[in-house]
Chain A
Amino acid sequence: MKRRSQLAVLIAALLPASVLAQTIEGVVLNSQGKAVSNATVEVEGSDIKVTTDKSGKFVITDLQDGLKELHVVASGYAHLHRDITVNNTNQSVTFNLKRSPIEVIDIEATPIHMSAMESASPVSVLSGEQLRRQQAATLGDSLEKLPGVNTNFHGKVASTPIIRGLSGPRVLITQNGLDVSDVSRVGPDHSVASEFSTAQQIEVLRGPATLFYGSGAIGGVVNVVDNRVPTDSTTRGEWNLEHNSVDNQQVASFNATTGTDSFAFYADAFWRESDDYETPVAADIDHDDHEDHSGDYTVENSSEESDGFTVGASYLMDQGFVGIAIEQFNRQYGIPGHSHGGEEEHSDEEESVYADLEQTKIQLLSEYNLDNAWLNKINTRIGHTEYEHAEIESGLVGTTFKNETNELRVDLLHNQFNEWNGGLSFHYKNSDVEAQGEEAFTPPSQTQSFAVALMEEKHFGDFLVQLGGRVERVTINADNVLLPSIDAHAHDEDIEHDDHEDHADTTRVFDVEHEFTPVSLSTGVVWDFAPSYNLGLSVSRSERAPSASELLSFGPHIGTGSYEVGALFDIHDGHFELSDQTIDLETANNIDLTFRKTQGDIGFIFNAFYNQVDNYYYQIDTGLYAESGHDHGDEDGHDHGDEHDHSSELPVYLFKTDDVILHGFEAQFAWQLSDEFKVDLFSDYVRARLKDGGDLPRTPPLRFGTELSYQTSNLSAHLHVTRYQEQDRTAPEETATDGYTMVDASVSYDLSVLNQDLSLYLRGTNLTDTEARVHSSFLKNIAPRPGRSFALGIRGYF
């Protein structure tokens, strides 16, 4: 014993950097006592991560004395946490993993450990085969099978996720933890500038996530993760070719990582092209069915063409990595339903209206493990994005949107002390957003935010406590906010245009500066009250600074078919003036309750939430109409004397604030019937209402569904049925939407050719060819979901 410690002292003297390093050896077994290979064993709060070999064995060396929290993760099994006290001796441990029919994947979006089964607030992750099965051209459509997530389906060309009834400026979309920096939050017809066929996983944080991402994430976060800045140089890759029948879509994509001991390289590229998609019925809900119809129904202007590539390189060090990646993303997509003015007036010859989007994104990511008494790790993310999209009609550029964003995020993770893990996060973001042209409804603005956040977690016996706080400073500067004196009028009043008292036709101009200090606080507890079960509770208070478009808009927005007026303005005696209301923060008070069964042949997750949002910014219908200012070229030979033409008018929507209550649930249940068969059930629901009565528009209906899976070593088959109920809780100007049932199925066969793993697959969607109109879509009356479609594809892995 004595000699041993002398040896240790000697070694310690020779290697001053490693202080009395210890070793843990162990084996990971399943509940039948069989070895689990390829399981990873991590030491929390450090960068130590090892993988088990074929006999389930692992060795962790170089550990310092003290209490270590080990985290064991293996595909198909529940995660295992185990505290081990390391004290001068080398230990041998055995971990027994329990099966989990619900796949548990850690998310990368947050500096503290979170997964669907273990954290206080609800998260979901789409990755691997499941991501490939569900990925679509747009983000909302890719994620809509996740509980609590719906799509605002915009004719298949654009969609953003709706998380628990919230979307737009309340749901932040990030790429590797950095803002995706497009203008998708401003309008439903604006596509998300990110690609999912080359992504590794997509993470969804449901409910307020302002703690990690600030103001823009009050409703949730979607983080698209790829390996663009490679963290290791293991050579691997994936390629995919697919053809889809309903829209004649062709997709090709690949991603590959390789490198040397100290350098890693990454490249991906994709290309996708599709025609206007077919629908089971006429696209327009008011279509007159008596007309003879030959051929298929399609949704006009729903075609798409996109391509892009990313290259990245990293320098790998013992202490971490630093790397940079650059992406070029191009997309041309039709803008369906680009009708002018609320009234429909379709000429036989549809004009071609499309958007041409281009984005260049540079990301610099780094992780560095320090040998420091306080700090354990520094994560740095730097992003620069230049985005531009032009809306083109009849060959002419109508409106151009631009966004230039610079972002910096630094997470400082401290060494465990007193068993707390966590760290401080600093976050800076600067966005210049600008729209020019006839439909530029928002003036140019610059938004800058700086935030400091603290996140900590600790296990107290059977309890895990997660705490966090964030203070942010958001400034919005717009030096040219326009208030034109528009001629807004109600349609039922007698229109007398020639009677304008003596108000001068002037456009008032303002220099507007907003400064907000939103603060978010969150507390969560997870209680492992019985083996395999836990109960989570999360309480948060989050504040959001309203976005520039919610405050400063004034003009026609063709994407939503409305004339939008920001909260800075209000109507006084039929004229728009500056609002008397003070512009205030939106505040969400959210309670989340989670009940889970984490392991065994049956697993489930039930979430219930209650979210009261005070000062919720939303649009109300003023009942007034204003000229869209949009010219169709060949319209009438303009004689507006006595007859007033309504076709170029849009309803005026004004941003107001009110207190809103959202509540609902998500339920997931999975039963592994045998090694091959598994049944999943899920349901979700959200009720979004004004505190003083009335419902919010475009709230997704109650949903429930099931998935039956069959999986052997090289064959897998899935049958997915989802029922969307009727939505009749509607906002005043909204109509109810019928329910429908979507049936999807897929089968894939794995084979190995020339040392490559190949997967051939056939996927059918909307097999019953049903008419499905998405209540949460702005285009529900003119663009139903695609009809029956078969996709045939091949995927290779190397």
Chain B
Amino acid sequence: MTKLFKLKLIALAISSTLITACGDAETTIIEKDPIEVPDDGHDHGDGDGDDHDHGDEYTIDSLGRLAVLAGDSNTASFFDLDDDALLNTFTLTNDSNTLSSSPDFRYAVIASRAQDYLGFIDSGLWREDHGEHLHDYKQSPAASSFELTSGSRPTHLVKHDGKLAIFYDGDVDSGTVASVEVLTDNDITNATAALPGITYDINMHGVAEPRGEHLLSTIRRDDADSTSVAKVLPDQVGVYHFHDGEYELEQTLELTCPDLHGAAQNHDYVAFGCSDGVLLAHQHDDEYEAEKIANIDAVGDLRIGTIYGHEDSETFIGVASGHGGGPAVIVSINPAEAEMEELEWQLADGASAVSYSFSAHGEHFVVLDSLGFLNVLEAHDHDGHTHWELAGQVDITEADVTTMPESMSFSMTVAQNGQFAYIADPIAQHIVKVHLEDLEIEGELELTFPPAAITWLGIAEEEEEHDHEH
């Protein structure tokens, strides 16, 4: 009986295979959103894509990515701005971190001043110049094994034209000295072991501006000679020149800058904030000419301790404030005319600024305030004179700002490939996307944690119409 049953089973198996013996094939194709390939922005004016360079198929059109530090845990989360998808979350080594981007916006830079630590996380989105074409890459975010731990108290991180200068303040208590290291995205990719830089013989709260083969970095003199009130602040600026793999001091600017704090640069000038005004270094090839613009009355007892600049913006924006915050006065500094001017627009009463930034191409200056307003300023030309005027305000939160969690604030980052600024809101636990030209919120990205800091990463749009050589 069992034998018969087995036979039946086999017969069944065979006959069932015969029935379906014709085989079957089915294909389902769902088309997804296409990837738009941007023009590579070389040399065309207004022709929309009819000027075809080959190599376009290697570029990727993407809004970019956001790195977001969580306020309630030691994590950095990466989001894809094209679909708002969370790509990955990384647990960070240290507790208190600041977040910024690498000079070419490929890496998130995680700095922990107290732990003498800088780490890097690859956003996975970057561009390589392959000679005949630009080649973009899109991969998953990945922690980089590269880290910087040898300098003491990394504080001011300044980026310019593909270079990042890290100013290590040093620490008087532990007897460590100040130093500077300069790196590029390639150094991070290749984990370059020995970075060029400067080592001082004393600690200071300084700043360094990388500028091509030059590095303008602060100098702290002997306390007896120093004009600074707070002696930890430097009062001189040195011009260091990169030769044979190292930076060498070639020039010390003749003008002093007491209590130097804050620096910025544009295409022609480097500006430093001093207690008596703004020190400007004007580049003439390998020489820098120093000039000082004295504080105007509006600055009063305050001092300009923070300066913002943009390669394509003629004017700098200076923020004058008292030591330790308080009310601030925002001024514009026109180096060509050696003029400092108070902006018409100032922060509203009760508002303090939480973040300042130029837009990607420098035509806007944006100030995010503690009341949840994004103030967008625009440069206007009046008889050859640049004025910054308020273009509009965007209310980025509906929440009661007094419910802001303790020691948190709004934070902002500006995309380098368009007109968007992204603002993180720890109350609503989301990020809003603001179009700076249209002054409208065009999207929200929901988070599951309160954001402490954000930075945009990705492929920066090439600046248009360069009429200068690097």
Interfacial residues of chain A within 537-552, with CB under 8 A of chain B in the complex: 541, 543, 545
Complex Cα distance, B24 from A514, in Å, reads 11
Indicate whether B3 reaches chain A with its CB closer than 8 angstroms.
Answer: yes
A638 within 8 A of B: yes
Q: Mark B54-78, 1 if CB is under 8 A from A, else 0.
A: 1111100000000000000000000
Which residues of A in the span 164-178 have a Cβ within 8 Å of any Cβ on B? none
Once bound together, how far apart are the Cα atoms of A513 and B28, in whole Å?
A: 5
* Cβ–Cβ < 8 Å partners of A631 in chain B: 130-133, 135
Which A residue's beta carbon lies closest to that of B38?
A505
B131 contacts which of A456, A480, A578, A638 (Cβ < 8 Å)? A638
Asked whether A248 is an interface residue with its Cβ less than 8 Å from the other chain, the reply is no
A515 touches B26 (CB 8 A): yes
For A486, what are the chain B residues with a Cβ–Cβ distance below 8 Å?
57
B23 touches A517 (CB 8 A): yes
Contact of A584 among B6, B25, B35 (CB under 8 A): B25
Cα separation A470 to B14 with both chains bound (whole Å): 9
Minimum CB–CB distance for B80 against chain A, Å: 13
Q: Does the CB pair B10–A506 fall under 8 Å?
A: no
Q: Which residues of A contact B23 (CB under 8 A)?
A: 516-519, 543, 585, 587
The residue from B2, B28, B30, B37 contacting A506, defined by CB atoms under 8 A apart: B37
Residue contact B30 to A511, C-beta cutoff 8 Å: yes
A507 touches B52 (CB 8 A): no
Cβ–Cβ contact A500 & B14, under 8 A:
no
**Interface check B348, CB cutoff 8 A:** no
Q: Are the CB atoms of B132 and A640 closer together than 8 Å? A: yes
- Interface flag for A510 (CB, 8 Å): yes
| Contact A519 to B22, CB < 8 A, known contacts A373-B2, A418-B7, A629-B58 | yes
A648 vs B35: C-alpha distance in the bound complex, in angstroms?
24
* Chain A residues positioned under 8 Å from B21 (CB to CB): 519, 521, 541
Given contacts A507-B57, A519-B20, contact A514 B26 (CB under 8 A): yes
Does A417 make an interface contact (CB < 8 A)? Answer: yes
Q: How far is the CB of A50 from chain B (nearest CB, A)?
A: 29
How distant is the Cα of A519 from the Cα of B25 in the complex, in angstroms? Answer: 11
* A437 CB → nearest B CB, Å: 9
When the two chains form their complex, are residues A414 and B6 in contact, meaning their CB atoms are under 8 A apart? Answer: yes
Give Cα distance in the complex from A507 to B31, angstroms.
Answer: 11
Residues of B within 8 Å of A, CB-based: how many? Answer: 45
Q: Which of A495-526 contact B (CB under 8 A)?
A: 497-498, 500, 502, 504-519, 521
User: Which of A454, A517, A584 touches B10 (beta carbons < 8 Å)?
Assistant: A454
| A436 located at the interface, meaning its Cβ lies under 8 Å from any Cβ of chain B in the complex | yes
Closest to A512 in B: B29
Distance between Cα atoms of A516 and B27 in the complex (Å) = 8
B455 CB, nearest partner CB in chain A, Å: 26
Chain B CB within 10 Å — which of A414, A456, A506 has the most? A506
| B187 beta carbon closer than 8 Å to chain A | no
Tell me the minimal C-beta distance from B176 to chain A in angstroms.
Answer: 36
Bound-state CA distance A510–B32 (Å) is 5
Question: Is B50 a contact partner of A500 (Cβ separation < 8 A)?
Answer: yes
Complex interface: chain B residues within 8 A of A701 (CB): none
Q: Does A732 contact B (CB under 8 A)?
A: no
Q: Which of A417, A436, A521, A545 contacts B18 (CB 8 A)?
A: A521
CA distance A648 to B55 in the complex (A): 12
Determine the residue in chain A with the shortest Cβ distance to B131: A638
State A339–B17 Cα separation when bound (angstroms). 48
Asked if A697 CB lies within 8 Å of chain B CBs, one says: no
Confirm or deny: A469 has a beta carbon within 8 angstroms of a beta carbon on chain B: yes
Q: How far is the CA of A405 from the CA of B26 in the complex (A)?
A: 23
Residues on the B chain within 8 Å of A454, using CB:
10, 13-14, 17
User: For residue A496, which residue of chain B has the nearest CB?
Assistant: B52
Cα–Cα distance between A640 and B43 once the two chains are bound (Å):
13
Instruction: Please tell me if the beta carbons of B17 and A521 are within 8 angstroms of each other in the complex.
Output: yes
Given A504-B49, A521-B21, A582-B27, do A511 and B32 touch, yes or no (CB 8 Å)? yes
Q: Which of A417, A482, A502 has the most CB of B within 10 A?
A: A417
Cα–Cα, bound, A282→B26 (Å): 50
Are B135 and A510 closer than 8 Å at their CB atoms? no
Question: For A417, what are the chain B residues with a Cβ–Cβ distance below 8 Å?
Answer: 3, 6-7
B222 CB–A CB distance under 8 Å: no
Asked if B34 and A514 make an inter-chain contact with CB atoms under 8 angstroms apart, the answer reads no
- B residues less than 8 Å from A635 (CB atoms): 131-132
Q: Type the 1/0 row for B62-101, where 1 means its CB is closer than 8 Å to any CB of A.
A: 0000000000000000000000000000000000000000
**Binary contact track A84-96/B, C-beta < 8 Å → 1, others 0:** 0000000000000
Q: A506 with B34: in contact, given A454-B10, A516-B25, A629-B57 (CB under 8 Å)?
A: yes
Contacts of B34 in A (CB 8 A): 506-509
B3 and A436 within 8 A (CB):
no
A436 to B124, CA, bound (A): 13
* Least CB distance, A63 to chain B, in whole angstroms: 20
A578-B29 in contact (CB<8A): yes
- Which residues from chain B contact A482 at a C-beta distance below 8 Å? 35
Name which residue of chain A comes closest to B28, CB basis.
A513
Whether A693 is near chain B, meaning CB under 8 Å from some CB there, is no
> B139 contacts which chain A residues (CB < 8 A)?
436
Q: Is the CB of B29 within 8 A of A374?
A: no
Is B50 a contact of A638 with CB atoms below 8 Å?
no
A371 CB-CB contact with B under 8 Å = no
Q: What 0/1 pattern do residues 458 to 471 of A give for CB contact below 8 A with B?
A: 00000000010111
Nearest CB of A to B450, in Å: 33
Q: How far is the CB of B32 from chain A (nearest CB, A)?
A: 4
Other-chain contact of B17, A471, A500, A513 (Cβ < 8 Å): A471
Contacts A485-B57, A506-B37, A507-B57 given; indicate if A582 touches B135 (C-beta within 8 A): no
Indicate whether B51 reaches chain A with its CB closer than 8 angstroms.
Answer: yes
Q: How distant is A519 from chain B, measured CB to nearest CB, in Å?
A: 5
B349 CB–A CB distance under 8 Å: no
Chain B residue numbers with a CB within 8 Å of A502 are 49-50
Inter-chain CA distance A648–B58, complex, in Å, is 14
Interface: A25 (CB within 8 A): no
Minimal beta-carbon separation of B181 from chain A (angstroms)? 25
B-chain residues with CB within 8 Å of residue A648 when the two chains form the complex: 132
Contact A469 B31 (CB under 8 A): no
Q: In whole angstroms, how far apart are the Cα atoms of A85 and B380 in the complex?
A: 108
What is the minimal beta-carbon distance from A645 to any residue of chain B, in angstroms?
8
Residue of A nearest to B51 (CB): A498
Scoring B21, B35, B57 by chain A CB atoms within 10 A of each residue's CB, the highest score goes to B57
Instruction: Give Cα A511 to B31, complex, Å.
Output: 6
Instruction: Assess the A517–B25 pair: CB atoms within 8 A.
Output: yes
Most buried by B among A514, A516, A519: A519
What residues of chain A lie closer than 8 Å to B225, measured between beta carbons?
Answer: none
A516 touches B13 (CB 8 A): no
Q: Is B36 an interface residue (CB 8 A)?
A: yes
A585/B25 in contact, CB under 8 A? yes
- Chain B residues with CB under 8 A of A629: 57-58, 133, 135
Q: Say whether A487 faces chain B, with CB atoms less than 8 Å apart.
A: yes
CB-CB under 8 A from B56, the residues of chain A are 505
Q: How far is the CA of A518 from the CA of B25 in the complex (A)?
A: 8
Chain B residues, CB < 8 A from A515: 24-28
Residues of A within 8 A of B398 (CB): none
The 8 closest A-B pairs by CB, nearest first: A517-B24, A631-B130, A505-B37, A469-B17, A507-B35, A511-B30, A509-B32, A506-B34
Known: A452-B13, A508-B34, A543-B23. 14 other contacts (CB 8 A): A418-B3, A424-B13, A469-B17, A470-B17, A504-B49, A505-B36, A511-B29, A517-B20, A519-B21, A519-B23, A583-B27, A627-B57, A631-B132, A635-B131
Which of A's residues lie within 8 Å of B, judged by CB?
Answer: 373-374, 414, 417-418, 424, 436, 438, 452, 454, 456, 467, 469-471, 480, 482, 484-487, 497-498, 500, 502, 504-519, 521, 541, 543, 545, 568, 578, 582-585, 587, 627, 629, 631, 633, 635-638, 640, 645, 648
A-B residue pairs in contact (CB < 8 Å), sample of 23: A454-B13, A454-B14, A454-B17, A467-B14, A470-B17, A471-B20, A482-B35, A505-B56, A505-B57, A506-B34, A507-B37, A511-B31, A516-B24, A521-B18, A541-B21, A568-B29, A583-B25, A585-B23, A627-B57, A627-B133, A629-B57, A635-B132, A640-B53
